[in-house]
Amino acid sequence: MCGAPVDLSFKHISSLTDAWIEEPSSSLRPLKKNSEMKYLSRSLRLNNNNITDLSDLQKPVSHFLAEPSQLAWLDLSFNEISHIDQVLCELRELRVLYLHGNSIYILSEVDRLGVLPHLHTITLHGNVIETNKAYRNHVISALPRLKTMDFSAVTRQERVMAKIWHHSNNCNRSSKETIR
């Protein structure tokens, strides 16, 4: 069930509700289908399109994949996404998520992805959030199961530093709220 990715990249998709009309690109590894003509794959590429809104993500996932609940690898890089939509948190088997080259500007939205029990790889570079000084510490702290971030291994030392950063950040916030 781990066939080649269903590749909908470079299709000029702007609305995920219309993505189902596209024909996936062929790759070196042929895509296999089941009897219902759905692809036997756990990977979906929607990169290099014009997607701004992810709220309808389940439509192409359900349309193309034989086992939509088993989606493990999702490439949404190089789109026009500005928010991390709650729909990503429903992809409980997601292991790899590429969001680089988008327009995400609120760092705390990454926290939502902490509910994904298997997420071990994420890319977020090339988004506005990358300019925040706390960027890497915040993401590593919010997603404690990460092994790779922005195509770079998350080291043990980074985990320790992210934990210290998180603790000091929460202590500072608590003391400021107490003072008010």
Percent of the chain with pLDDT over 90: 83
One-character DSSP codes across 27-90: -SSPPPB-TTS-B--SEEE--SS-----TTTHHHHHHHBSSGGG--EEE--SS---S--GGGGG
In the block, tokens 């980074």 appear at 158
Single pTM value for the model: 0.92
**What is the tally of structural domains in the chain?**
1
Tell me the sheet residues that pair with 97. Answer: 74, 122
Q: What is the pLDDT of residues 56-98, one digit of tens each?
A: 999 999 999 999 999 999 999 999 999 999 999 999 999 999 9
Q: What is the pLDDT of residue 170?
A: 75
Residue 77 covered by a domain: yes
Q: What is the pLDDT of residue 173?
A: 57
> What is the SS3 assignment for 7?
strand
pLDDT at 177 > cutoff 50? no
Residue 97 covered by a domain: yes
C-alpha to C-alpha distance for 102 and 111, rounded to whole angstroms = 17
- Give the dihedral sign, CA 151/85/141/176: positive
C-alpha to C-alpha distance for 137 and 135, rounded to whole angstroms = 6
Residue 64 covered by a domain: yes
Give the CATH number for residue 118.
Answer: 3.80.10.10
The average confidence (pLDDT) of the chain is 92
Q: What is the pLDDT of residues 15-46, one digit of tens each?
A: 999 898 999 998 778 889 999 999 999 999 99
Residue 13: pLDDT band (50, 70, 90) is very high
Residue 171 covered by a domain: yes
Span 152-178, mean pLDDT? 80
Residue 107 covered by a domain: yes
Both structure tokens of 39: 């692809």
Residue 94 covered by a domain: yes
Q: What is the pLDDT of residue 172?
A: 61
Percent of the chain with pLDDT over 70: 94
Residue 1 covered by a domain: no
Name the residue range of residue 153's domain.
6-179
Residue 47 covered by a domain: yes
Q: For strand 6-7 and strand 43-45, is the pairing parallel, antiparallel, or unpaired?
A: parallel
